Chain A
Amino acid sequence: EAGVTQSPTHLIKTRGQQATLRCSPISGHTSVYWYQQALGLGLQFLLWYDEGEERNRGNFPPRFSGRQFPNYSSELNVNALELEDSALYLCASSLGTRVSTFGSGTRLTVV
């Protein structure tokens, strides 16, 4: 069974640009979660999608947005990039409230 896959592995963007990160959940999982892991701040919950709808979001500005497609894959979009957006972005998938399985992450660097 394929795990949670994220792409790209690394992404370098210039301040002010937009970044798009992608996540494919485990087959059969309907929920996708996005987390940000910035240096020194720990893992912070960003967004939760389930059945194509945004169910909850963490304490992040609106320039962090995303969507979930009919096949349950998801995109995270970060607009107007700032230097402090540099972080490891992790995606996780689950079915209901069962075990969340994480991907290997996308390392976003804003220069």
Chain B
Amino acid sequence: KQEVTQIPAALSVPEGENLVLNCSFTDSAIYNLQWFRQDPGKGLTSLLLIQSSQREQTSGRLNASLDKSSGRSTLYIAASQPGDSATYLCAVIMYSGGGADGLTFGKGTHLIIQP
């Protein structure tokens, strides 16, 4: 059974810092990995999707890397801003032969950027 772990569970940093969020998964046979952002009480916003054949994806100040063999992904946020404060979720999708299973999520990293 796939398990996804995110470290740290919570992080508070001053504005302007670069930071790294970590995600690890136990079964490396993933189809893709997705990073989401969730604001309190709201739905999820997809940030980056990395296909299993890819090593990284970039969008603006965000860069996500994937090392499938070691079961790890990192989300790098450059020049953090107070508006980046949210919970960041990592999720993997497996391919079960008949199609895609649901996403398996980590419990998230609660990020606070101090002005």
Which residues from 14 to 52 on chain A have a C-beta closer than 8 Å to any C-beta of chain B? Answer: 31, 33, 35, 42-46, 48, 50
- A101: B residues at CB distance < 8 A: 46
Task: Give the docked Cα–Cα distance between A48 and B49 (Å).
Answer: 20
- A50: B residues at CB distance < 8 A: 99
Residue A55 CB within 8 A of the other chain:
yes
- Total number of residue pairs linking A and B with CB closer than 8 Å: 65
Cβ of B43 and Cβ of A90 under 8 Å apart?
yes
Which residues from 18 to 38 on chain B have a C-beta closer than 8 Å to any C-beta of chain A? Answer: 31-32, 34, 36
Provide the main secondary structure of the chain A interface: strand
Task: Give the docked Cα–Cα distance between A56 and B103 (Å).
Answer: 12
The chain A residue sitting closest to B46, CB to CB, is: A99
What is the size, in residues, of chain A's interface with B at 8 Å between Cβ atoms?
28
Cβ of A97 and Cβ of B32 under 8 Å apart?
yes
Of the candidates A56, A88, A90, the one whose C-beta lies within 8 Å of that of B96 is A56
Task: Give the docked Cα–Cα distance between A80 and B31 (Å).
Answer: 36
- B34: A residues at CB distance < 8 A: 99-100
Residue A94 CB within 8 A of the other chain:
yes
Of the candidates A97, A104, A105, the one whose C-beta lies within 8 Å of that of B100 is A97
With A42-B108, A43-B89, A56-B96 in contact, do A100 and B103 touch (Cβ < 8 Å)? yes
